[in-house]
């Protein structure tokens, strides 16, 4: 990768920390910011440069990535008077990798355009495992020239990278991805519940089903975690509910009825009511396990 730019990265949580690690390992200069500074300590020890605010970071970097929590966080980060759009260097490219609102992505794009700043919405899928192994799928919306400029850095963090269209289309594509997951997560949990009730060996079942036409990423990656009772978040329930609500809102704008999506979101809402919003999405199985008791 020649002519490397100075990079910035905001949000070093479950996925962001690994993504920054790959950028550092590729020899890039990376400036970092996170609301909880301690979450950047290992990265700074590995060569990252801490900045005291997003605005300070943006003023020093040619390309800035962010992956934060919710659309309100994205809007504040980008559009506040001291936010990224206001503080970015002339000609910079800002890339939000949070799963957020397509409408907000277009709003940020227009704000950036007025300042001559490139804006991409580039949400990811693949969870903590994909972030650690640099096998993320990255859905990108925005101008092709900006996509091409950032592509080498995307390739450092992910394996399947596609420009899906204009501003907001990265988010629309990620929401479509989350709709698919709604079906695979419920299907996996119900299949494991059924198989357990039939006294089948669940490890053998996962291997067998995983080798056939019903194989899914959720089954192969979350199934073994479920068998171990491991509900640690590769992807938080609270964030998945946010994604499903965004998909429902967008579907409503398109006059679409997506009943399977809504049912899945309602199931996850029950887990939130049980205080499990900070568990991983595989904790959906607990609803079925509890019913068996």
pLDDT digits (tens, 9 = 90+) for 124-159: 999 889 999 999 999 999 999 999 999 999 999 999
Model confidence at 292, pLDDT cuts 50, 70, 90, reads low
**Residues 6+ positions from 266 with CB-CB distance below 8 Å:** none
Q: Output the pTM of the full model.
A: 0.92
Do 220 and 283 fall into the same domain? yes
Catalytic position from the list 87, 174, 242, 276: 174
Could you give the number of structural domains in the chain?
2
Among 116, 141, 165, the domain boundary falls at 165
Cα(101)–Cα(86) distance, rounded to whole angstroms?
20
Domain interval for residue 193: 172-292
Query: Does the pLDDT at position 2 exceed 70?
Result: no
Residues 249-269 pLDDT 10s:
999 999 999 999 999 999 999
- Backbone phi and psi for residue 234, each to the nearest 5 degrees, phi listed first: -90, -25
252 is catalytic: no
Same domain, yes or no, for 118 and 218?
no
> Burial letters for 202-233: b for 16+ Cβ neighbours within 10 Å, e otherwise?
eeebbeebbeeeeebbbbebbbbbbeeeebeb
Task: Kindly state whether residue 1 falls inside one of the protein's structural domains.
Answer: no
pLDDT in tens, 35-69: 999 999 999 999 999 999 999 999 999 999 999 99
Nearest 5°: phi and psi at 80? -60, 160
**Helix (H), strand (E) at residue 191:** helix 169-197
Tokens linked to 67: 């992956």
Please return the burial class of 155, using the count of CB atoms within 10 Å of its CB with bins 0-12, 13-18 and 19+.
middle
Residue 2 lies in a domain: no
């Amino acid at each position: 990768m020649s002519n490397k730019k100075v990079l910035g990265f905001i949000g070093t949580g479950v996925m962001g920390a690994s993504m920054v690690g790959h950028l550092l390992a590729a020899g890039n200069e990376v400036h970092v910011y996170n609301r909880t500074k301690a979450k950047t300590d290992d990265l700074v020890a590995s060569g990252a440069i801490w900045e005291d605010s997003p605005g300070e970071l943006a003023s020093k970097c040619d390309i800035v990535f962010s992956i934060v929590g919710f659309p309100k966080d994205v809007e504040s980060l980008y559009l506040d008077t001291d936010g990224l759009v206001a503080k970015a260097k002339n000609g910079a490219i800002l890339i939000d990798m949070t799963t957020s609102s397509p409408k907000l992505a277009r709003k940020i794009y227009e704000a950036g355009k007025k300042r001559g700043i490139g804006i991409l919405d580039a949400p990811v899928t693949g969870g903590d495992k994909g972030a650690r192994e640099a096998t993320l799928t990255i859905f990108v919306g925005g101008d092709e020239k900006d996509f091409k400029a950032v592509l080498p850095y995307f390739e450092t963090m992910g394996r399947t990278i596609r420009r899906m269209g204009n501003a907001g289309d990265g988010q629309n594509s990620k929401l479509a991805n989350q709709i698919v997951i709604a079906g695979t997560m419920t299907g996996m949990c119900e299949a494991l519940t059924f198989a357990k009730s039939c006294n089948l060996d669940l490890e053998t079942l996962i291997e067998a089903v995983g080798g056939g036409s019903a194989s899914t990423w959720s089954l192969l990656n979350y199934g073994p975690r479920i068998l171990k009772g491991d509900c640690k978040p590769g992807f938080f329930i609270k964030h998945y509910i946010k994604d499903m609500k965004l998909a429902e809102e967008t579907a409503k704008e398109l006059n679409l009825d997506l009943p399977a999506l809504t049912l899945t979101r309602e199931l996850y809402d029950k887990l939130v009511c049980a205080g499990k919003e900070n568990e991983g999405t595989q904790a959906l199985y607990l609803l079925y396990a509890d019913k068996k008791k």
